[in-house]
Structure 1
Amino acid sequence: MDTLFDLPSPETPEHAVIAHYRLSGDQYGSRAQRDAIFDAERAMAAAVKKAGVGEVDGNEFGGGEAVLYAYGADAEALFKVMEPTLRSLPFRPAYVVLRQGSRERESRVDL
């Protein structure tokens, strides 16, 4: 059977690392803040790919916040690769949600 998508099987739920940063203003932060987030996202995507632990899957800006998303088979391994760059961003308050497969299995790490 041919398939169009290689989706994870239900037995191995995908893990996530979701980073939240407070930006200036009530909307999208300053241009410099957005550029710093984009630069960090590119650096983390390269590191995650090199380590083979998942993928950095994008960002969201709005409401004075930036959110970065990454997915893989092991949230702890993914976070370990991303952590130096996540901590290097100066925007605070900031935190990361580590999701192990489902919303019931989440932990929070303050940056």
Structure 2
Amino acid sequence: MADTDEAGNDVEYAVIAHYRLADAGLGDPTQREAVRQAGALLTEVIEQADVGEFDGNEYGGGEVAIYAYGSDADALFAVMVPILNDLPFRPSHVVLRYGSVVDPSAAEHRVEL
């Protein structure tokens, strides 16, 4: 059962993976292609497991962040982790957020990859 906020809306938990890229900009074309392919795989496994949705990625400052949302951060991470581990960029870590993005008191758990 999904958590709800004070207004009765479902709360979407987050799984946000962070990877360091080859340069201070957007990484090299090979890295961007690997992230694109990982995004396609993440979309597929998340939908098949019915645990949330892949929301895309964001590049900047020599990093890429990969976003997914669902009602159970642990279940979402469980289906994502094999694909996230396959991306070769390091250092990297994942933040599991247990609460709404607008809730400053929401718990977070950091996992190193």
Q: TM-score, normalised by structure 1?
A: 0.89
Amino acid at match of 2:34: A
Q: Give, as a single letter, the amino acid of the residue that structure 1 aligns with 2:18.
A: H
**1:80 counterpart residue number:** 78
Taking only the aligned residue pairs, the percentage that are identical comes to: 52
- The 1-side partners of 2:12 and 2:42 are apart by 18
Output the aligned Cα RMSD: 1.4
Please give the secondary structure, in 1, of the residue aligned with 2:27.
coil
CA offsets per residue over residues 43-97 of structure 1, 9 Å max, x none? 0110000000000001001100010000000000000000000001000000000
Per-residue deviation at 1:14? Answer: 1.2
- 1:13 CA drift (Å): 1.9
Question: Aligned residue for 1:60?
Answer: 58
Structure 2 match to 1:107: 109
* Runs of 5+ unmatched residues, structure 1: 1-7
**Alignment partner of 1:18 is 2:16:** yes
Q: Any stretches of 5+ residues in structure 2 without a counterpart?
A: none
Match of 1:3 in 2: none
**Secondary structure at 1:77 match in 2:** helix
Instruction: Give the match for residue 38 of structure 1.
Output: 36
Give the deviation of 1:9 after TM superposition: 4.8
Paired residue type of 1:84:
P
Q: How many residues align?
A: 104
